[in-house]
Structure 1
Amino acid sequence: MRAAVVTTFGGPEAVEVVEAELPEPAARQVRIKVAAATLNPVDAGVRQGVFGGAGKRIGLGWDVAGTVDATGVATAWSVGDEVVALDPGMVRPLGTHAEYVVVETDAVAKAPATVDAVHAATLPLNALAAVQALDLLELSQGQSLLISGAAGAVGGFAVQLAAHRGISVTALARETDEELVRSLGAAHFASGGVQPGGFDAVLDTAFLGETALEWVRDGGAYIGVIPQAAPASVRGVRTGAVEVSADGARLAELAALVDEGVLTLRVAETYALDEAAKAHARLAEGGVRGRLVLVP
């Protein structure tokens, strides 16, 4: 089968599409025939060597939508099931940017019924990161939340999920994105001039760090999206960062919210698997609204 990998670190040109051995599922695993797999910033980090692994062949891709193709023992999934899954990992021989991928059975969820596989592939990593970050913030209905980078993939899901929970969301984004973030459910919009201490919590998907921390009231909460990179606590503000984990049960809940119209899946562009390097080059240009998706 074909798979996108890196064997040396660097720019988009470091991405290769190679022939790899078809993986076989072990106990409590399923093999998915990949219909679509999303390209995320973490893949660029892997490609650049941020997470190490020099001298190894490293597979790319965490998100997948497709069809169960084979199963190991002790799994409730059946061949032919249409599914989505998160397959996290920084340094491993194969990722989801391939024709087939083996994942743990408890990382898998039934795919949303109302969207195609290309859109479904954008759900796992970014929506799980958003909902797990919101869980860490522990906000109640009516409390106030500022989300930086609200027009991005994680930020956009966070706006919708928080608004669905009855939280008062202020979206921080570029002026040109105001219409978008309001359509996602933001009650308020900011592009600058945020009031210090004005919010019960901040979800910082734009990596603003200490700047965003100043916007949290005394005793509030700050959650970022880069593990081990949260700013130190000040004024009694609880700080931390989400480290997204695979969770098939939670992913199933998110897929149901897609079918209910609560969550919007945004695809910017699609690329053939053989164009993986081209997709990385587009990601590196920035300004992408929605996700880039690879189709084997």
Structure 2
Amino acid sequence: MRAVVVRNVGGPEALELMDVFVPVPGPGQIRIRVEAAAVNPVDAATRSGQLLAAGLMPARDVIGIGWDVAGIVDALGAGVVGFAPGDAVIGVRDRLDVPLGTYAEYVVLDVGAVAPAPAGLSAAEAATLPLSGLTAFQALGVLDMAPGSTLLVTGAAGAVGGFAVELAAGRGLRVVAVAGAEDEAFVRGAGAERFVPRTAPDLAEEVRALAPGGVDAALDAAALGIPVLGAVRNRGAFVSVVGGSAPAALRGITVHQHWIAADARTLAHLAALADTGRLTPRVADTLPLEEAPRAHARLAKGGLRGRLVLTP
């Protein structure tokens, strides 16, 4: 089968399309024929060697790329129940110690990382859901806020931030969204009550003008750090979803660095929300698997609305 890998870390040109053996599912695993794989910032961090340098993954000769997948069940390992060949599924590869990622024609995942795909979405749309949706959902779970509380979401027009706004509004939270001025209509449509442009000269003061005393908590999807912490009230809460961007826990604020964990039950819940229109997957563009380097170059350039998706 064909798979995109990295043998020498570097820029987008480090991505290579290789012929490799089709992976075999072991006990408790599912092999998926990949129909779509979203391109995420963590993929760029893997390709460039940042995760290796941080000690988050082992060094090896060939590094697989890709976390998100939407596709069709192709084969089942021993002991797997609840799925059958031909089922449409979504999944996430959250393990960095395995040799291949989802930028491939087939991928093997643990059954606990796979859920039925949303029936009303295309494969490309469904592929944007697992990593970003799980990140937003789990980060909100870490904050554990009561309905009516105020939440600041940065990067609110991004994939994680957009899902966070929709999920938070659905929980009855009062959302203050930070994004580009051109995205105000989108984030308000997603459920944000109040809006602050990311170009505000003093983010904390702009937010506090809308939420006197500071917001109860912040979900920092844009990795802004200290300026966002300044917008949180004393003894509030803060969660970062970007590795290494969590600030010091000043003023009694509880600071969390959240790392995603695959969770089939939550994936199924997110798929149901997407099916009923309460989550909005966004696809910036689709490209064939062999154009992974171009996709990473576009990701690095920025300005995307939604995820780029590779289609084997």
Residue of structure 2 equivalent to 1:66: 71
Q: How far, CA to CA, are the matches of 2:236 and 2:71 in structure 1? A: 41
- What amino acid sits opposite 2:130 in the alignment? P
Q: Tell me if the contact between 2:224 and 2:245 (Cα under 8 Å) persists in the aligned partners.
A: no
Structure 1: distance between partners of 2:226 and 2:273: 33
**Residue aligned with 1:33, SS:** strand
The aligned residue for residue 41 of structure 1 is 41
Q: Is the Cα contact below 8 Å between 2:68 and 2:127 reproduced in 1?
A: yes
User: How much does 1:42 deviate?
Assistant: 0.3
Count of residues in correspondence between the two structures = 296
Cα distance in structure 2, aligned partners of 1:261 and 1:176: 23
Aligned to 1:287: 303
Mapped contact 1:8–1:55 kept (Cα < 8 A)? no
- Quote the offset at 1:90 in angstroms: 3.2
CA shift, 1:55, in A, is 5.2
**Percent identical:** 52
**Displacement of 1:185:** 1.1
> Aligned partners of 1:167 and 1:103: how far apart in 2?
34
**Structure 1 CA distance for aligned equivalents of residues 95 and 304 of structure 2:** 24
8 Å Cα contact 1:62-1:95 kept in structure 2: yes
Q: Tell me the alpha carbon deviations over residues 74-132 of structure 1, each in whole angstroms, 9 at most, x when there is no partner.
A: 11111111100011233532100000000000111000011111100000000000000
* RMSD between superposed Cα atoms in Å: 1.1
Instruction: Please name the residue that 2:191 is paired with.
Output: 185
2:159–2:306 Cα contact (<8 Å) kept: yes
| Residue equivalent to 1:195 | 207
Aligned partner of residue 235 in structure 1, secondary structure = helix
Q: Structure 1 residue 231 and structure 2 residue 236: aligned?
A: no
Q: Which residue matches 2:25?
A: 25
Partner of 2:94 in structure 1? 88
Match of 2:130 in 1: 124
Bigger mean CA deviation after superposition, 111-120 or 219-228 = 219-228
| 1:228 CA displacement | 5.0
1:11-66: per-residue Cα shift (whole Å, max 9, x none)?
Answer: 11110010010000000000000000000000000010001155520000000000
- Inter-partner Cα distance in structure 2 for 1:294 and 1:107: 20
Alignment equivalent of 2:154, drawn from 148, 161, 177: 148
1:8 is paired with a residue whose SS is coil
Residues 145, 155 of structure 1: CA spacing in aligned structure 2 closer, same or farther, 3 A cutoff?
same
1:243-287 deviation line (CA, Å, top 9, x unaligned): 001001110000000111100010001010011111111111111
For 2:180 and 2:141, locate their aligned partners in 1 and report how far apart those are by CA, in whole Å: 26
User: Which is further off, 151-160 or 179-188?
Assistant: 179-188
2:170 to 154, 158, 164: 164
Kept in 2: contact 1:51–1:90 (CA 8 A): no
Residues 223 and 245 in structure 2, CA contact (< 8 A), matched pair in contact too? no
